[in-house]
Amino acid sequence: MKTERTVILPWLLSASLALAQTFVPRAGPDPALGQAEYDRFCPSQNGTIKTLSPSSSVVVHCDAIPRLPVLGDREWTASMEDCGLWCENMGTACMASFWDPRDGACYWSGAQAVEPRTKYVSLVQMTSLDSCDKEKEQCFKAKAQCLNDKAACLKAKGECEKREQTCLRDKKNCEGREQTCLRDKKNCEAREASLRRDLQARNREIARFRERTPCM
Ligand SMILES: *[C@@H]1O[C@H](CO)[C@@H](O)[C@H](O)[C@H]1NC(C)=O
């Protein structure tokens, strides 16, 4: 019995640790990391949903902060993802966290609505959104995807049109060469006909000559 308990206890401890995805804290301000993390997320992931752990997803907003920020309560986390996990670990009180690229500080907020503010990254916890908001986020994401697809389509169309232009030019050149060939062929045929006529005239002359000189 005693041995079993000593085996089970550390196992339980590590299992519960694995379940609660914890963030990695950092010592203090780090402008280089702050900016690097901003650049890693913005603008490429603006408006996208990012999964931080099996139980946590956030909507990324570039250049926005939550409407009711709690600027006093700050944490230094090792990454943007950890800034989101820190908020998630706080429970329902935290609805969003946001990252200041100037020093890499992570703040939390009890509001999930964001408003424009340059040079911040807001991470809104998906769990804090109601189904309507979630749908809206999905729509936003789908719209961004559509715009990307449209841009790719337009680019492909442009390339097609350029190729078509080249084809048309080549076709015109071909047709020009064909015309020249046909003209040359016609000249050849005319010359051939005239040579044939000459030949026939000569043959007739030879025949007449032979008639006049029967001894040959
Ligand atoms: C992120 O998207 C929002 C909403 O479309 C826009 O206002 C903002 O300028 C974007 N930020 C960046 C850095 O692209």
Percent of the chain whose pLDDT exceeds 70: 89
**Separation of 113 CA from ligand 1 center, angstroms?**
15
CA nearest to 91, candidates 124, 57, 127: 127
Q: What is the pTM of this model?
A: 0.58
Q: In the prediction, which pLDDT does 12 show?
A: 44
Question: 203 pLDDT band (50/70/90 cuts)?
Answer: very high
**Residue-level pLDDT at 177:** 93
Band (10; pLDDT cuts 50, 70, 90): very low
Q: Tell me: the pLDDT tens digits for 47-57? A: 999 999 888 89
Give, in order, the Cα–Cα distances in Å from 97 to each of 61, 128, 157. Answer: 11, 12, 42
Ligand 1 lined by 39 (C-beta under 6 Å) = no
Q: What are 57's strand-pairing partners?
A: 51
Given strand 105-109, what is the order of strands in its sheet?
Answer: 49-53, 56-66, 114-125, 96-100, 105-109, 69-76
Q: Where are the alpha helices (DSSP H) in the chain?
A: 2-19, 31-41, 80-89, 131-212
CA distance 153 to 172: 28
Q: Is 46 in the pocket of ligand 1 (CB under 6 A)?
A: yes
- Helices 31-41 and 80-89 sit at what angle, rounded to 10 degrees? 90
Burial class (CB in 10 A: 0-12, 13-18, 19+), 21: middle
Give the distance from CA 26 to its chain's centroid.
33
**CA nearest ligand 1 atom 5, residue:** 47
Question: Does the Cβ of 110 fall within 6 Å of ligand 1?
Answer: no
CB count in 10 Å sphere of residue 77: 24
- Digit-coded pLDDT (tens) for 70-97: 777 899 999 999 999 999 998 888 999 9
User: What pLDDT score was predicted for residue 134?
Assistant: 74
